[in-house]
Amino acid sequence: MKIKVMVVDDHQITREGIHSLLERENDMEFIAAAEDGRSAVRLAKELKPDVIIMDICMPEMNGIVATSLIRSEFPNIKVIALSDLSDKRHVLKMLKAGASGYLLKFCSFKELAQAIRTVLTNKAYLCQEVTDIMVADYSGPSLISDSTVSPHLSHRESEVLQLIAEGKTTAQIADSLYLSVKTIETYRGNIMQKLNIKNIAGLTKFAVREGLTPA
């Protein structure tokens, strides 16, 4: 039986490129592509892929939230982060969300294929560059101070925060998430209180810094 692979990335050329390369692998099958996290969650529920190749910075819903939602409902689905973000913060967030692997986008397809096969054996796979960053951090001064550790936001709060940072109005967010305007206002207030941020500009800066939305 072939390994069913889904690709999630907001760049069409990336999706098409990985699709083309997967077709050359005898033991793998490309089953779907999504351009944002929300579509990825929906397709994961419908198609039940074995492995999802997941970007991090995407519109509507980022890869961290999408990974957490997918893994919480479908723990057998493996997620491999494929990103150009190499800092420890994003690596740890993806691993905490449930990703089994983390590769940088300049990796070879040969390594990506190896990672796909590795995670299916219930082993983790980190590319050498990410491993070096993690090892360097633990063997020297911390790259991230305690002050940069984000207060815990729920999946929904993270989703609302991303949409706020992307410039969506309260009404647009409510319509997108099938919630009332009052509920979105409540989420926004809770987010501001948790983050101790008083305005939309501050929320936007925070979301960009934390990688919840593209700069």
How confident is the model over 109-156, as pLDDT tens digits? 999 999 999 999 999 999 988 888 777 765 554 444 433 335 688 888
Q: What residue spans define the domains of the chain?
A: 3-138, 150-209
Outline where the chain has alpha helix (H). Answer: 12-22, 37-47, 63-73, 88-97, 109-119, 128-138, 155-165, 170-177, 181-195, 200-209
pTM for the model: 0.79
Q: Is 50's pLDDT higher than 60?
A: yes
Encode pLDDT of 75-106 as tens digits. Answer: 999 999 999 988 888 898 899 999 999 999 99
| CATH code of domain 150-209 | 1.10.10.10
Q: How many angstroms separate the CA atoms of 194 and 184, rounded?
A: 15
Q: What is the mean pLDDT of residues 43-72?
A: 95
Q: What average pLDDT does the chain have? A: 89
Mean pLDDT, range 38-51, rounded to an integer: 97
**CATH placement of domain 3-138:** 3.40.50.2300
* Rounded CA separation 39/212 (Å): 16
